[in-house]
Amino acid sequence: MIYINKKLRIENINLVNIAKKYGTPAYCYSYNQLKDNISSFKRNFASFSPIICFAVKSNTNLRLLKEIKKFGLGADVVSQGELMMAIKAGINPKKIVFSGVGKSTSEITYAIDKRILLLNAESMSEIKKIDKIARSKNRKVKVGLRLNPNTDAKTLSQISTGKKENKFGVNEKTFIELVKYCKNSKNLDLQCLSVHIGSQILNYRPYEKMLKVIDKIISKVNYKFEFIDLGGGMGISYTDKTKQLNYRKYNIAIKKFLKKHNSKIIFEPGRSIIGNVGTLISRIIYIKRNEKKNFIILDAGMNDLIRPALYGAFHNIVPTIRKQRKVKKITEFVGPICESTDKFLSLKKFQELNENDIIAICDVGAYGMSLSSNYNLRPKPIELLIEGSKIKVIRKRQKYTDFI
């Protein structure tokens, strides 16, 4: 996003004009930002050309998935719905991995029928179920095993997944048993060791540690994995002050690992591909002033973007028209929903705002729309894709008749 003559733009489009034409709240995505993110992700790991499976849970918009497919990415899915959407977007099932601790019989059956790249299993019970379904179909199914490396990702506890107290993956002992089980099964073709230690990771050291754990366990089981799926989790900067993840160091650690183990690397990035691609624009419905604060009541609420309410996550808010005058009181951006946690941000010395002004909530491309709901029976926002001077509606605003 960029200010030109004090007006905020995505690519060549003025956000105030978008609000006028398409209404608010509206999710706006920048095509060129998406393109740049994918190129730089590929560049960071170019030396071993990994298979990059976009984590569909971070953004499920069909049109965006089609664009992501055009850049050559596959998909990481965690439900039948996501698998169906990825296939609908034209993503080759041979580039789709299926993760998740609770795949149902019908989900496993569907994935087997679609002949996806890998079903990454997370427990003994699941592997037995996959085995049974594969046997009934007289098929040999490609599977991965998700290891819980007991590694602290040093991120928010709610989005940590790789410690032993987390439900994800299996511990070393079970992993070894699972490898044995797979070797003895006629219907399972064990191809992958997978891990995913958490999300919004900004420090490369947990990744380094995770690779050491994988290295150790591979030596122990003495099995050649075709693929090592390192998951996603690469963090982005939600504030100017955040220090970036050191991709160079992560890359070095992987290359060192690959010198010993000749496997193909798979990544499952979500946020690092789509996070800063999206902006949520919203209109100020009312301004309510008390002694200490000005409450800026927006037409976007926690049903449209739940990250601040759910994780205390920070999303910067900026005006779409810049003004000089600042207010002394605290400016608190809140939604219209009947919950005290329906609050986006409190800022000191924000510029003066008026009712009907449009503001922009930044970096909401990942886990924004995909976590939205109809809470308070509010329709879901419209989604728009901006490329240069072109705007495309990529999901219509929900109508009341869609659910009433």
CB closer to ligand LLP, 59 vs 174? 59
With CA atoms as reference, report the closest residue to 67 among 54, 50, 49, 83.
Answer: 54
Pairing of strands 264-267, 278-289: unpaired
Q: What is the DSSP letter of 186?
A: S
Q: For the chain, what is the radius of gyration of the CA atoms?
A: 23
Q: Is 292 exposed, middle or buried (0-12, 13-18, 19+ CB in 10 A)?
A: exposed
Q: How far is the CB of 284 from ligand LLP (least distance, A)?
A: 25
Q: How far is the CB of 334 from ligand LLP (least distance, A)?
A: 19
CB closer to ligand LLP, 57 vs 283? 57
Q: How far is the CB of 232 from ligand LLP (least distance, A)?
A: 3
43 and 50 Cβ atoms separated by less than 8 Å: no
Q: How far apart are CA 92 and CA 108, in angstroms?
A: 18
299 DSSP β-pair partners: none
CB closer to ligand LLP, 235 vs 319? 235
Q: How far is the CB of 276 from ligand LLP (least distance, A)?
A: 12
Please list the active-site residues.
Answer: 338
Q: How far is the CB of 267 from ligand LLP (least distance, A)?
A: 8
Q: How far apart are CA 392 and CA 138, in angstroms?
A: 46
Q: How far apart are CA 54 and CA 179, in angstroms?
A: 27
CB closer to ligand LLP, 33 vs 331? 33
Q: How far apart are CA 316 and CA 211, in angstroms?
A: 34
Q: Is the dihedral of CA 97, 100, 105, 107 positive or negative?
A: negative
CB closer to ligand LLP, 187 vs 200? 200
CB closer to ligand LLP, 272 vs 279? 272
Residues of this chain that interact with ligand LLP (CB under 6 A) are: 55, 58, 76, 99, 159, 196, 199-200, 231-234, 268-272, 307, 311, 366-367
95 and 115 Cβ atoms separated by less than 8 Å: no
For residue 379, give both structure tokens.
């329709």
Per DSSP, which regions of 31-81 are E strands? 51-55, 74-77
Q: How far is the CB of 272 from ligand LLP (least distance, A)?
A: 6
